[in-house]
Structure 1
Amino acid sequence: MRESPRCGAKTRMGNSCQSPAVSGRKRCRMHGGAKGSGAPLGNQNALKHCEYTREAKEFRKHIRRLLRSGNEMLDNF
């Protein structure tokens, strides 16, 4: 038990937690190592306003490229 890896999460006192980490994880059961803890797979909230869909990201990337090429053309003019 003494040789097991420690949690290391910051406590309210500012020290690191000294509880043993859950096997296969970096945190103890109190700091997010417990089964079922953490965010659900697939962030559905990111799709709420359609800002982070693949199409929206590609569109913004295309617009940035167009603006960059337009600025370069104006600089050379």
Structure 2
Amino acid sequence: MDKAHAAPRCCARTRSGLSCQSPAMANGRCRMHGGASTGPRTAEGLARSKRAAWKHGRRSARYVALKRLVKQAARDLRETTKLSEQMLRNAGW
């Protein structure tokens, strides 16, 4: 226990205004006051981070493009149907 008590302290300011007395890690701060994450540093880590943040894909570029194609196909189909009905009416059907 003597080594634990001899460890350097965090010394970050707490909400009460006093210094934090938790033992410091290698970065000089405790586990609660360690600071913000620096994020992924490698391309592999960045790719893993992007995969972890993926939720559903309903706003992805592929989905938006597919939705646009489906809407255009539906408009074309409605227009074709309307023209066919007009042609049949004009032919006396």
Same fold per TM (> 0.5)?
A: no
TM-score, length-scaled by structure 1: 0.42
More helix by share: 2
State the structure with bigger RCO (CA 8 A, min sep 6), 1 or 2.
1
